[in-house]
Amino acid sequence: MRVFKFGGASVKNADAVRNVAEIIKNYGQGKLIVVISAMGKTTNAMEAIVESCAKDKSKVSELVKERSDFHIEIMSQLFSSDHPIFDEIDAIFKNLEEYCMTCTVQNQAMIYDQVVSLGEVISTKIVEAFVKDSGLRSKWCDARKIIRTNGNFKDAKIDWEKTKELYKLNMSLDFNRDVDIAITQGFIGGTENGDTTTLGREGSDFSAGILAFVSDSENVTIWKDVPGMLNADPKWFDNTIKLDKISFREAIELSYFGASVIHPKTIKPLQNKTIPLFI
Ligand code: ASP
């Protein structure tokens, strides 16, 4: 088993989605878990929807339409107009609008997680449909039914034992049947009661680490549009050096001190099982 992770910039438009499918085809031999973020700046756009839901419901429809149009534009470049994915995504946006218009829940963090998580649900549905159409044996898997967390919305904590069990039940079994590639969401999980949770902004790398841990993966690859991990932030320093190989400890230190190339929580589960991480 291996894990690939693609962030929002790697699925920000139709060409990027094609590129992801090419990478999976060319480098994803064997059994593979693919973790994907929301497309482009969708998480920020979803945050604006949450805000309008709480403060000014008159803006909800317009903001939902703007995000829906963004995804329709991408899909229309990837699929023929009668592809079932259009109805599937449309239904998600309709439910989202209805949820925001009618929701009376007081817990803002809870609303945040129910709404913002849909960015990842939508992106993975689109990418999985495209990967399947390109002839690969893929399956869309629901991370809300695998990554079990507590109810600490916006920064949920992982129940590792339960996640291990749920991985076996809701993903691993598929690999024993006819699935080679499980495509799932980064950043999101679910509670025992069925509420959706999120793991904190930029948390998709962490999801890749969690899934690598519970599946005893051989390695994890975070695909990025940068050359790799540098010894300093190139926005601030001119003469940065690419680090070809570093220890888990150094990676944790660099990420905690701001190396935004990986989310700081990602390394620990990998270190615990000595699972190499490639960037
Ligand atoms: N989509 C989420 C965010 O933008 C999670 C991630 O991309 O890692 O924070």
Q: Is 187 in the pocket of ligand 1 (CB under 6 A)?
A: yes
Whether 8 lines ligand 1, by a CB cut-off of 6 Å, is yes
List all residues 6 or more positions away from 258 whose beta carbon is below 8 Å from its beta carbon: 233
For the chain, list residues with pLDDT below 50.
Answer: none
Q: Is the CB of 186 under 6 A from ligand 1?
A: yes
Residue 272's contacts (CB-CB under 8 Å, 6 or more residues apart) are 213
CA atoms of 11 and 122, how far apart (whole Å): 11
pLDDT recorded at residue 229: 85
- The pTM score is 0.96
Q: Is the CB of 163 under 6 A from ligand 1?
A: no
With beta carbons less than 8 A apart as the criterion, state whether 240 and 230 touch. Answer: yes
Q: What is the DSSP string of 244-265?
A: S---HHHHHHHHHTT-TTS-GG
pLDDT of the residue at 235: 86
| pLDDT at position 254 | 86
Tell me what pLDDT residue 32 has.
98
Whole-number pLDDT of residue 230: 87
